[in-house]
A and B are shown apart, each in its own frame.
Chain A
Amino acid sequence: MENLQILLRQHVGKPCAPVVKVGDKVKKGTLIAEPTGLGANIFSSAYGVVEDITDDRIIIKPDDEQPDEYEKIPEGTPLEMVKAAGVVGMGGAGFPTGIKLDTHFDGDGYILVNASECEPGLRHNIQQMEDEPEKVLKGVKYAMEISGANKAIFAIKKKNRKAIEKLDELIKDEPNISRHLLADIYPEGEERAVVRSCLGIELEPSQLPSAARAVVINSETCSRIAEAIDERKPSFLKNLTVRGKLNGGNEAHVFMDVPVGTSVADLIERAGGIDGEYGEITMGGAFTGHATTLDAPITKTTGAILVSMPFVDLKGAKLGILVCACGGNLERMEDLAKKYNGTVTHVCYCKQAQEQKNGTRKCERPGICPGQVKNNLEFKKSGCEYILIGNCSDCSNTVMASGPKMGLKVMHMTDHLMRAVGHPLYRTLRVSKEVDQDLNVADNIENN
């Protein structure tokens, strides 16, 4: 078994500080680092010895024997246990769950369970909803108890029929728990989009869901809450999807309970290994992930490892970049432009990609396009032959309405990955943004 590399900064917030020394023996669940500010406890994910501690990680040499037992967290109130177990949001950003739930709805609030699995090609959230929805539901009930919410709504895409049927069966006698069906477009799972879909409340980019008396929480996170409270289990495992240009085809490989710190190479190997030439490996989804390397370790927030098709060589052609808050930031888009061998001649931002105080961007109305033709005119004016866009489904559709007619060749930042996972490219939208909440009513799929 290879060495595990456990990063001291697993998610938003400050890096944690190690509480072990080189040479210490550790078990599964041994506390090895503690937060220095906003953050969550970090635990060893294996039995072994601390081999090295660097500025950004703790390296553990695992023993040959790896028993199932783990060091348990102390007993306490549910909230204390969630905090002690170091549970963080597993959907991507990794906000500490104990802090998120430490709100006081006093019987008037919502837990919105995000089971939308919105990034294309991912499968592990839905797999869990099919295989162990009971565990997720248990976590949801704890989340309601801790936060004082009186209602919970599961947000899930309508295309996941099997998971929805299981869920419906499970919650049929739960008057306060319901489900809301989402269309199969991106970014239905964006936090504020979930609030809008489920509750009909449109939040400002600077507002948190609490402004709508809601907490949005990922379905896997719910299961980790249940584990922390029922099994006194610290958070050191992660579910994820490995997919792309792999030997044996492009179906999703779902791995449940992978030890945090496992390397990308190890997971790709377990999924069959890379199939010949490839473009890049991304960690996280196609829209919001970033390029990674084989030796990089996974964290508590890693949802996917995707292996892409090789990049088309644009041979230095003039390329415009359209940055959107729903996709990659400028840095990521420039990274891709370089990999495509394009010459970046112009950069536009989607009108709704509002810059936040911390320098990141958030969409003002996720998934609802504000129009894009003005940007296309700018690209055309500056002589771009290609444009690389990072937009959501609706905005990509708008770009397509004028871009090609102007002679702009449109590429989406997810193309190399969508080709690798066998997902349609983000271009013209062919499905309705509205879905009927009756699972048995087929929605209008346009013929445009």
Chain B
Amino acid sequence: MSITAETAKQHANDPAVLCCRAEEGTVLAPSNFEDPAIFPDLIDSGLLNTDGALKLGQVLNGSKLTKTVDSLTPITPDIIDKYDELEGEEEAPAEEAAPAEEAPVAAPAATLAPVVGGTIKLHIGEGKNIDIELPAGLGGGAVAAPAAAPVAAGAAEAAAPAEQEEKVVRTLSRRHLRIDKVERGPETKIENHVLYIEEGIEEKAVESEKLVQSLKIDVITPDNYHTYSETIMDIQPIATKEGEAELGEGVTRVLDGVLMVVSGTDANGVQIGEFGSSEGYIDENMMWGRPGAADKGETLIKTEVVIDAGKNMERPGPIAAHKATDVITDAIRKALKKVDESEFEADLEEFKQVRRPGKKKVVVIKEIMGQGAMHDNFLFPVEPVGTLGAKPNVDMGNVPIAASPLEVLDGCIHALTCIGPASKEMSRHYWREPLVLEALHDPELDLCGVIFVGSPQANSEKFYVSRRLGQMVELLDVDGAFVTTEGFGNNHVDFVTHIENIGKRGIPVVGFSFCAAQGALVVGNKYCNAMIDNNKSMSGIENEVLECNTLCPEDAVRGVAMLKAEMAGEEVKAPERKYNVNVKTNNLELIEKATGKKIETVENEQSLPMSEKRREKYD
């Protein structure tokens, strides 16, 4: 297709090929030329040979055709009256929307150079309880370290823009209780590391939801992982807030070694989320150890919920299955509240929300599913991963909503996604969100928060929420942004629009998605130049293995390095045309070399016993 002057400029060093027939005497203009972005496809299919062709930048200066030629003719010196000589061997910056992942230059962003012998000016406009400590050698003018100005909490900004002290905004602690065994008993309680679930609680769960016909509880211990399960709709940590603490701060009590697992079908036996579902033997169909999956060794309390026939693809159906399961989880939460503090692990696991003024300010944006049916999420429940008090993002119009990193890690998302299980983030994923953890702990980044934005069904709504997101990111005044998504296809429309709305405001942005072979972006724009592919599967496909292709620490590390490179003004190399896992491997090696730290990578579905389904459909 014909190109604009702007595109022609970007491709000044690419071959000049006519898009259409042009007659003798035509003065060549950008609209005469085919878009070089599609040349590789044309060359592959034997339609084009650009050998000996002049470059676009050489022929847009008044060159005139001396012969009438047809479309897809490369411009060569013999068919034009004049052309410009090539200027140097400069590589044009190639900005390209592409599904594959790109190579970052992994040099860590430069830290501030120590001030040597300069003046240090401190100006404090207004404030109280301000303590300023300066190195003793200051007066002598030979200070080797940057001045540090620790400012007491609550003080007004001290206007020393250079190095500033970290500031802890709030803290979240997890108090762990090991569970050795799960049994049934007359009441739900926890005693001596044994969790008892009330006999007959199933009936209470069924009664709580009109659409639920039956509910069965299976306790699956590690020696029993080779058990058939209907499609797994969610994996949830069991946790409760201590005292009056709100989500994202204070103390959270959590059970170790045991998880809630929601599964189900409709009354006709159709999977909830049929058309990409994870039913089958659990050991073969779950990617153990992923942030959102179970770890080997954990006991699964699995509900198998049967809902009214035909309700499996309508919104109320899956919601009912989740809410009925939460009746049981909530009973466990109540029991957990009663356990004496002495029974818990002595050490609290502590998460600090740290702000690092003066460092590169970044935001993590997580696109979550919001198309309706089972594509929904309950946001901000009262209890971690609960349902009570939560609002579905679909009902809130999928607009962007701010969360603290600690709210994310404290289960502020109760996830209702299940179609396409390999790339969807279960509730447990947020509990261990690798990108949030990586960005929070990186001493060179100032993570200001997390934004959740739903992915609506209709395009018009997608653009609506994207525009809101762009405005929100603008007002945050960040230096860089991460955008993650789950799934692929429909949600990619808003995913790339989010990136565009951030990128066009001049903010460097890195995107994370499963793409690989099957999920290549259906749309793109010039801001999609820094992308991380979450794929882990061997064939680059949605293999229906639960959590296989979700965001892992190895992806977070690459994304952080890429954003730092972008924020430092370095160029991210264009991707290869087809998905190639070596790009990822090379990136990881580059990062290891630059940081001197070994990065562990996770295994993929090939480490699992081969399932019938995989043998037939995929591998």
Contacts and interface: CB of A to CB of B under 8 A. Distances in A.
A40 interface: no
B2 A397 contact: no
Interface string A352-373: 0000000000000000111111
A406 B44 CA distance: 11
Interface stretch (B35-43, B122-130, B269-277, B399-407): B35-43
B21 A371 contact: no
Contacts of B20: 368-372, 394-395, 397-398
Given A370-B31, A373-B38, A373-B47, A401 B23 contact: no
B71 interface: yes
Interface string B18-54: 0111010000000100110010011001110000000
> Is the interface on chain A under 10, 10 to 19, 20 to 34, or 35 or more residues?
20 to 34
A371 B34 contact: yes
A419 interface: no
Contacts, number: 69
B546 interface: no
Interface stretch (A240-248, A250-258, A260-268, A426-434): A426-434
A398 B41 CA distance: 17
A405 B46 contact: yes
B69 to A, nearest CB: 9
B1 interface: yes
Contacts of A394: 20-21
B21 A398 contact: yes
Interface residues of B, number: 19
B45 A371 contact: no
A371 B19 contact: yes
A377 B35 CA distance: 13
Given A401-B71, A402-B47, A402-B71, A370 B2 contact: yes
Contact of B71 (A351, A368, A369, A433): A369
Contacts of B34: 371, 373
Contacts of B35: 371, 374
Interface in A377-417: 377, 380, 394-395, 397-398, 401-402, 405-406
Nearest to B73: A401
Contacts of A371: 1-2, 19-20, 34-35, 71
Nearest to B21: A397
B70 interface: yes
Contacts of A351: 1-2
A54 interface: no
B75 interface: no
B107 to A, nearest CB: 38
A446 interface: yes
Contacts of B459: none
Contacts of B31: 370
Given A397-B70, A402-B72, A373 B19 contact: yes
B460 to A, nearest CB: 15
A377 B38 contact: yes
Interface string A255-297: 0000000000000000000000000000000000000000000
A432 B23 contact: yes
B208 interface: no
B19 A369 contact: yes
Nearest to A448: B70
Contacts of A372: 1, 20, 71
Interface in A413-447: 429, 432-434, 446
B471 interface: no
B68 interface: yes
Contacts of B45: 377, 380, 406
A197 to B, nearest CB: 15
Contacts of B1: 351, 370-374
Given A370-B19, A371-B19, A374-B38, 17 more contacts: A369-B20, A369-B71, A370-B20, A371-B2, A371-B20, A371-B35, A372-B1, A377-B38, A377-B42, A394-B20, A398-B19, A398-B20, A398-B71, A402-B72, A432-B68, A434-B23, A448-B70
Interface of B: 1-2, 19-21, 23, 31, 34-35, 38, 41-42, 45-47, 68, 70-72
8 contacts: A351-B1, A369-B71, A370-B20, A397-B20, A397-B70, A401-B72, A402-B42, A432-B23
The 9 closest A-B pairs by CB, nearest first: A371-B19, A369-B20, A401-B71, A371-B1, A370-B2, A398-B71, A398-B20, A351-B1, A371-B2
